[in-house]
Amino acid sequence: MDYNKLKFKCGIEIHQQLETNKLFCSCPSKLRNDPHDISIKRRLRSVPGEGGEIDIAAKHERDKELEFTYEGYSDSTCSVEFDEEPPHDLNKNALEITLEICKMLNCDVVNEIQVMRKTVVNGSNTSGFQRTMLVGQGGYLETSHGRVGIDSVCLEEDSARRVGKILSTKTNKEKSIIYRLDRLGIPLVEIATCPDIKNPTQCKETAEKLGMILRSTGKVKRGIGVIRQDVNVSIKNGERVEIKGFQDLKNIPKIIDGEIKRQLKIKVKPEVRGANPDGTTTFMRPMPGASRMYPETDVKPIIIDKRLLDEVKVSELIDNKILEYEKLGLNPSLSRGLVKAGFNLDDYQYNLDIKLISNILVEIPKDIKSRYKLEHEFCENDFRLVLNALELKKITKDSVINIFKDIAEGRKINLKNYSPVDDSKLEKEIKTLVEKNKDLSMGALMGEVMKKYSGKVDGKLASTLIAKYKI
């Protein structure tokens, strides 16, 4: 497909949760699946924006006449989430992270932040609106297809989590939606690019690079559902269509390609569509407009001065860290594995080979999962225990896999059980073994030694001693 000829325009929006408490209160930003102990029911109505008109998307949701149930916890959900108390002061930590992201994206930061209300009446906010604020604009990032402008960087509160629904017995359509308030209010940074993306491949690359920059801060949440991508596309003589719900960045080119083929067959309306796994899209609602925005009167404007900006330090990019590890002699896969898992080799100053340390941090946990089918989240103390023991020569390299296996199986670790066999004792044992089994091959003899000592001897040393006596 000739995207240049089609006058293809594309921009992407990234929504990423930040690893802090909630945006306008001190409640924790952790999702919970244990039974809730608070439940309230509400109906929401749309209100006019600054221009006096009700937004078309708000009307669409209002006309569904749904009832909403909100579930919460008395020990981790406060009255701010229930919209029964005004918002507290803005989370300073979340603001500083957003300012760092603005710097990393070469943005101009606003002098004064005005919190706005964005009308949302689909039930995902108890108040009927989402609080959002512009922090930076006019930035850019470089891709292999050219520069992509950053239109805006905003800080906002995430929505409530949909956990269920109730259908009408008469129409079989939704009459009530159930939301969990654990996600409502989690700080969310929204990055919107300019419509500079020239083709679906560049869109995927842009999404990947933005994700890398966000992870580089070390201050964003990791896991399923903590980052969401929306893509806006249009072609010559067409209207802008927003596609939501990309679960896998690999599907971006396929879904965009399918959407453009759909647009070429019809008269396009500005609308929001959901991305489907098979590459198609489905109508969700009309495209919202500016009518849904109006100022938040419960939060005073926030001044951004030079002192605050100077205090914000910029983290090293993940891609640069990977290149640094490769220059130290690690292969690309191991270098990327270290960075992806959040390990910094500067924190592991041992008199051990850097490749050995890296393999223990990255590859050994994978081996435990694949070889022994054990699911276990190893902690920092587990790695330190093994690395310290190796440095003090209390264990051999061959015993490492056994120690991690025992940790994963819940066994209490006593390093004496893995202490290496004395070299002189090992040599006598091997000499006797070779003399009694002269017909066995080198491999068979090695197997007997490793079977008996199970990680308590150095494999290279054992091989050398077997070769010495098998003459």
The last residue of a domain, from among 294, 310, 326: 310
One domain for residues 183 and 75: yes
CB 183 within 8 A of CB 177: no
CA–centroid distance for 207 within its chain: 13
Model pLDDT, residue 5: 93
Structural domain including 413 reads 318-418
Task: Look at residue 3 and tell me if it is in a domain.
Answer: no
Rg (CA), the chain: 29
* Long-range contact pairs involving 410-414 (C-beta distance under 8 Å, separation at least 24): 413/385
Distance CA 388, CA 391 (A): 5
**pLDDT for 50:** 67
Task: Point out the domain boundary residue: 310, 335, 364.
Answer: 310
Q: What is the predicted pLDDT for the residue at 113? A: 97
Are residues 171 and 300 located together in one domain of the fold? yes
pLDDT in tens, 112-152: 999 999 988 889 999 989 999 999 999 999 999 999 999 99
**Mean pLDDT, the chain, whole residue set:** 91
Kindly state whether residues 304 and 323 are assigned to the same domain.
Answer: no
On whether residue 45 sits in a domain, the answer given is yes
- Following DSSP, what letter does each residue of 248-312 receive, concatenated? -GGGHHHHHHHHHHHHTTS----EEEEE-TTS-EEEEEEPP-GGGEEE-SSS--EE--HHHHHH-
Q: Are residues 195 and 279 in the same domain?
A: yes
- Of the residues 418, 442, 461, the one at which a domain ends: 418
The pLDDT assigned to 457 comes to 73
pLDDT at 455: 65
- Whether 365 and 273 share a structural domain: no
Q: Kindly state whether residues 192 and 253 are assigned to the same domain.
A: yes
Residues 198 and 332 in one domain: no
Task: Give 245-265 pLDDT, tens digit per residue.
Answer: 887 899 999 999 999 999 999
| Pair (229, 372) in one structural domain | no
- The total domain count for the chain is 3
Predicted model pTM: 0.79
Length of the chain, please? 471
Residues 67 and 110 in one domain: yes
The pLDDT value recorded for residue 454 is: 65
Q: Is residue 265 part of a domain?
A: yes
Same domain, 34 and 73: yes
Residue 223's pLDDT is 83
User: Is residue 53, in this structure, part of any structural domain at all?
Assistant: yes
Q: DSSP state, 125?
A: S
Residue ranges, the chain, pLDDT below 70: 50, 290, 423, 454-455, 471
